[in-house]
Amino acid sequence: MTILRVLRAAAIVALSWAAVPAAAQVAGGNVTVDGPWITLGDVTGTRGPGAAVRVAASPAPGARTMLNVAEVMMLAKENGVTWDARGARGIIVERSAAVVPRDVVLNALDEELARRAFGRSLRAEIPNANFSLTVPRNAPLTVKIENLDYDVARATFSATIVAPANGTDAQRTVVRGRVNEIVQIPVLVNTVAIGVVIRDTDIAWADMRTDRLTQGVALQPDQLVGYAPRRAIRPNEPVRVSDVQTPIVVAKGSNVTMIVEAPGIQLTAMGRALANGGLGDTVQVMNTQTHTTIEGVVEGPGRVRITTRRPIQQANAR
């Protein structure tokens, strides 16, 4: 081929491309859009004058729709866009989306419930684990609550969730769930060894559903502070009053000083504790000299006070 023919062929190709009013693209496959409208530019890839022509409304964020190829081709032709469909049967268009965190929805519901709680602490629960709320990809992850219906007797609610909270492209979704009443209870923030006294710094507050509270759970810090665990207690879990005890200041089998008081007289004697005891507990002790057993009240480490209205001889002889 001569140089002249090459130049002529190139000129013909250039003229043929110039005759196309807008860029052409093969139909088929998936198309992703961000805005509320699907345009010819989204479908055909054109950037020419016809790019902004609306083909159809976009689906909801995260959803898909299918376009009819023949209808799109007709619209493209009417707007001077040459588009080669090549036998495609349909075009799937998906709208990009962002997922609103579940906590954002629950917090908004809790705030709305608080307005009608009358001093009670209420928390919303959405039982549907698959519940998901989406907004356009570039929209703020915010929500607004409308039409909240709270059934006090059944402890249920229904509400309309508007997302994003403000904007012309907001989506409205109806959600239903349960309402739980919450109380705060004292819990241990760290592991306290058995027998070690619980201090103020070992206590924190935790939210607890009232329907999960069991009888005997400590509700106030003074039911725990100053006491010692009887067993291992996990941090951040409800503590039963029976799980703690007065700290042991007299150990079973240890030597103690018995302070015996009777009308008009007081004396001391050595004894051996027959049981563990905390301050104020009544324990049995054995006089190590007479081997008699008597009950007394623990009043300090290694000290048991025995009070009797009988003569000392009768008290010791029991």
Which DSSP string corresponds to 17-44?
HHT-SS------SEEEE-SSEEEHHHHH
Tokens of 9: 């062929």
Percent of the chain at pLDDT exceeding 70 = 87
Does residue 268 register a pLDDT over 80? Answer: yes
Q: What is the pLDDT of residue 88?
A: 72
Looking only at the bridges linking them, the beta strands covering 156-163 and 144-151 are antiparallel
Does residue 10 register a pLDDT over 50? Answer: no
The CATH class of 183-245 is alpha beta
C-alpha to C-alpha distances, 11 to 2, 21, 22, 109, nearest whole angstrom: 14, 18, 19, 68
* Least confident piece of the model among 18-32, 113-127, 259-273: 18-32
Looking only at the bridges linking them, the beta strands covering 37-39 and 90-95 are unpaired
Band of the pLDDT at 171, cuts 50, 70, 90? confident
CATH T-level topology, domain 3-95 = eubacterium ventriosum atcc fold (2.60.480)
Q: What is the mean pLDDT of the chain?
A: 84
Among 204, 172, 199, 175, smallest CA distance to 187 is for: 204
Does residue 17 register a pLDDT over 70? Answer: no
**Where are the CATH 2.60.480 domain residues in the chain?**
3-95
**Where are the CATH 2.30.30.760 domain residues in the chain?**
249-317
Q: What is the largest CA-CA distance in the chain?
A: 141
Band of the pLDDT at 255, cuts 50, 70, 90? very high
Mean pLDDT confidence for 59-69: 90
Q: What is the pLDDT of residue 315?
A: 44
Rounded Cα–Cα distance for residues 220 and 244 (Å): 13
Per-residue pLDDT of 177-207, as tens digits, reads 999 999 999 999 999 988 889 999 999 999 9
The CATH class of 249-317 is mainly beta
Does residue 317 register a pLDDT over 50? Answer: no
pTM of the model: 0.60
**Where are the CATH 3.90.1210.10 domain residues in the chain?**
183-245
Residue with token string 């209205």? 309
246/216: higher pLDDT: 216
